[in-house]
Structure 1
Amino acid sequence: MKDNFSTQSAEYAIYRPTYPQELYDYLLTLVKEKETAWDCATGNGQVARVLAQHFNSVYATDISENQLKNALQLPNITYKVEPAEQTSAGDASFDLITVAQAIHWFNFEAFYAEVKRTLKPGGLFAVIGYGIMVIDKKVDKAVHKLYEDILGKHWDSERHYIEEGYQTIPFPFEEIIAPHFRIKTTWNFKQLTGYLNTWSSLQHYKKANERNPLEYMVTELKEAWGDDAEKDVHFPVLLRVGRSV
């Protein structure tokens, strides 16, 4: 599994969007028991901290020690540096397993074997993510220029799973057709550029060219942003939900 986020883990914790409460409420209605949950590739613990409000214990893993250092510490969350495909959790341990904005990096076959091993009978598995944000026509056009024209060749090949809404990932589970959710937030211009700086492709560009590509785009982005102090920002939520078959 690739570790694309350790170098910008502090910024990741600050600028990455958070999932709507309605998404968690929906998943919780599908969970039969709320003893234990595993948040795989937890990053800064964004999902784990919400699950900790509803489950007796949460097991949260990531391959990035730097990411976990930026995670919120709670008494019922156990953080471990472990790959998605091989954890120290016992068989049939979890009522819910979540993986948010990360499954496209995994070895699907090995990870799904681990999910099926550690999920309790009747337990729930949820793949969560989000696509490219929508702000307004001018800003979206400038962001697309950065995304496609400048960073296009620097995106990892796995990015296509995000662009395809996670609909093309293998999913060997009894699938539950989930409703559509959106992340709705407001940003100022600093939050926009802060988020863009967390893109893995931008980090790849910096390593290849020893320069931040936002230097070329900041004026254009600022002009597209205009005089608004804040703007509404929407992300489409990607969601696949199922149970072991």
Structure 2
Amino acid sequence: MPIKDYFSGHAKIYATFRPDYPNALYDFIYKHLHEKSRAWDCATGNGQVAKHLASMFDEVYATDISNKQLENAVQASNITYSVSSAEHTTFPDNYFDLITVGQALHWFQRELFYKEVMRTAKPNGLLAVWGYAVLSVDESIDELFNKFYTETVGPYWDDARKLVEDQYRSISFPFEEIPAPAFSIAVEWTKQQFAGYLSSWSSTQKFINSNGFNPVDDFITSLKNLWQDDELKNVTFPVFLRLGRIKK
């Protein structure tokens, strides 16, 4: 199976407009840790998660298949970035207290990745995988947004997107699972920020490559009577987590 890299071509857009995960998510994960020595953030992208881990762990190792993504990553003295696939790394055995994957597990060859988790995690370490599902603004905007999501760029989503829509409930997860509550991301965005986020989607970039124009422009124009240029609106993303303890 070929490695899927849908973000190198627009790494700066991705780094600028992707929303941050809530502190409550990290707090829930951290309270189940036995040690906080080393963490591996797999598919780190712009280092969004690695930055948060760096405030808690002595050492953070963050990997991604995209060097372009890593060029835009947040820097910290205790974060080591490297280009690597999720399924094959050079990390030692029994090395990590926590392994994290934010909004990326659906791109992996999961059985191979799980083997790498078993090899590199310490006994009783944790694997935390999470993502965020389809956003909501308000009833009037959501109606137009859902049409854009399903009809305009819908055909350009990779099949793996269905796993996100299902909130990872249908994936295999061969670890001792710790029940997790639902979380959410809440941001205040201008219409321009909303447009930037939509442009960061892999499906939007595929549409642009196929058709030669950005479909977000027309969609944002359709919101002119619903969202003023300088107006801030609340945007909410449901966040889901699967947390597992690694038994050896």
Bin for the TM-score computed over the shorter chain: over 0.9
What are structure 2's unaligned runs of at least 5 residues? none
Identity fraction in percent: 51
User: Is 1:176–2:216 an aligned residue pair?
Assistant: no
In 2, the alpha carbon distance for the partners of 1:2 and 1:170 equals 20
Q: What is the deviation of 1:196?
A: 0.3
Matches within 5 A, 1:197-212: 197-212=199-214
Mind listing any 5+ residue stretches in structure 1 that lack a counterpart? none
**AA matched with 1:173:** F
CA distance in 2, matches of 1:7, 1:141: 30
> Please, what TM-score do these two structures have when normalized by structure 1?
0.97
CA distance in 1, matches of 2:195, 2:56: 34
User: Normalising to structure 2: TM-score of the pair?
Assistant: 0.96
1:211-233 Cα distance to aligned partner (Å, 9 max, x none): 11123322113333247710111
SS at match of 2:31: helix
Partner of 1:141: 143
CA contact (8 A) 1:189 1:222 kept: no
Q: What residue in structure 2 maps to residue 116 of structure 1? A: 118
Rounded Cα–Cα distance in structure 1 between residues aligned with 2:52 and 2:225: 37
TM-superposition CA deviations, 1:101-133 (whole Å, max 9, x none): 000000011000001110100001000110111
Q: How large is the Cα RMSD of the aligned pairs? A: 1.1
Aligned pairs (5 A) from 1:60-75? 60-75=62-77
* Equivalent residue number for residue 45 of structure 2: 43
Q: Is 2:191–2:220's contact at 8 Å kept on the other side of the alignment?
A: no
Residue 4, structure 1, aligned to residue 17, structure 2: no
Shift of 1:241: 0.3
The answer to whether the 8 Å contact 1:142/1:224 transfers is: no
- Large movers: runs of 4+ above 3 Å: none
Amino acid at match of 1:64: S
Q: Which residue of structure 2 lines up, in the alignment, with residue 216 of structure 1?
A: 218
Q: How many residues align?
A: 245
Structure 2 counterpart of 1:153, from 146, 152, 155: 155
- Asked if structure 1 preserves the Cα contact closer than 8 Å seen for 2:192 and 2:229, the reply is no
